[in-house]
Amino acid sequence: MPFQSLDERIKNFITGRLKWIDLMPIQKNAIPTVKEGKDLLIISPTASGKTEAIFIPLFDDILKNNLEPLSILYVLPLKALINDIYDRMERWCEPLNLTITKWHGDISPSKKEKFIKEPTDILLITPESLESFLINKNTDTKRRIFKNLRYVVIDEIHYFAASDRGIQLNSLLNRLKRYTEDEVQRIGLSATVGNPKTVLRWLTDDEDAKIVEDKSQISPQYKVIYGGDAAIIETLKRYSDKKILFFVHSRKDAERYHDMIRKHLNPKNVFIHHSSIDKKIKEESEENFKRAKNGIMICTSTLELGIDIGDTDIIVQNHPPLQVSSFVQRVGRSGRRRNPPRSIVFCDDEKDVFITLAEICLANEEKLEEIGIPEKPKDIYFHQILSSVFEYGKIKKKDLFYLLNKSFVFSNIDKEEYKLLIADMIKKDFLEEYGGYLSLGYDFEKEFGKRNFMEFYSVFPSSYDFVVREGLKDIGRMDAFFVINYLERGSDFALGGENWKILEINYDTFEIKVKRTRGGEAPHWYGTRGVMDYLVTRRIYDILLNDFDRDNLRYLDDASKMILGKFQEEALRVGFEKGVIPIEFDDNERRVFIYTFGGLRVNVLLSSIFKVYCGVYSIYDSPYFASFKFRGGFGIEDIRDITRNIEDILKDENLKVHIFEKANKLVKNKFIRYLPEDDQITLKSALLFDECGLIDVLQENSLKLATSTPFKAW
169 and 74, same domain (yes or no): yes
109 and 131, same domain (yes or no): yes
Residue ending a domain, among 310, 336, 364, is 364
39 and 143, same domain (yes or no): yes
Residue 146: exposed, middle, or buried by beta-carbon count in 10 A (0-12, 13-18, 19+)? Answer: buried
Pairwise CA distance, residues 325 & 295, whole Å: 26
The per-residue pLDDT for 220 is 92
Domain that holds residue 699: 579-713
- CATH number of 256's domain: 3.40.50.300
3-state helix, strand and coil shares in percent for the chain, rounded to the nearest 5: 45, 15, 35
67 and 123, same domain (yes or no): yes
The per-residue pLDDT for 633 is 83
Asked if the structure places residue 112 within a domain, the reply is yes
Asked if the structure places residue 290 within a domain, the reply is yes
C-alpha closest to that of 438 among 457, 456, 422, 414:
422
- Which residue positions in the chain have pLDDT lower than 70? 1-2, 336-338, 451-452, 454-455, 457-464, 496-497, 519-529, 663-667
Structural element, H or E, at residue 592: strand 591-594
Asked if the structure places residue 61 within a domain, the reply is yes
- CATH number of 433's domain: 1.10.10
Spatial contact of 245 and 334, defined as CB atoms under 8 Å apart? yes
208 and 226, same domain (yes or no): no
Q: What is the pTM of this model?
A: 0.87
Asked if the structure places residue 348 within a domain, the reply is yes
Residue 231: exposed, middle, or buried by beta-carbon count in 10 A (0-12, 13-18, 19+)? Answer: middle
Packing angle of the helix pair 164-176, 378-392 (nearest 10 deg): 30
Asked if the structure places residue 388 within a domain, the reply is yes
Residue ending a domain, among 302, 334, 364, is 364
Asked if the structure places residue 450 within a domain, the reply is no
Burial readout 156-193 (b: 16 or more C-beta within 10 A, e: otherwise):
bbbbbbbbbbbbbbbbbbbbbeebbeeebbbbbbbbbb
Residue ending a domain, among 191, 213, 235, is 213
324 and 398, same domain (yes or no): no
The per-residue pLDDT for 53 is 93
Asked if the structure places residue 279 within a domain, the reply is yes
21 and 167, same domain (yes or no): yes
Asked if the structure places residue 569 within a domain, the reply is no
The per-residue pLDDT for 676 is 85
- Per-residue CA distances from 508 to 399, 464, 466, 581 (Å): 35, 11, 10, 38
593 and 622, same domain (yes or no): yes
Radius of gyration (C-alpha) of the chain in whole angstroms? 27
195 and 252, same domain (yes or no): no
105 and 57, same domain (yes or no): yes
For 268-312, give the DSSP string.
S-EEEE-TTS-HHHHHHHHHHHHH-SSEEEEE-GGGTS-------
Spatial contact of 344 and 235, defined as CB atoms under 8 Å apart? yes
69 and 156, same domain (yes or no): yes
The per-residue pLDDT for 522 is 43
596 and 703, same domain (yes or no): yes
Domain count within the chain: 5
The per-residue pLDDT for 526 is 47
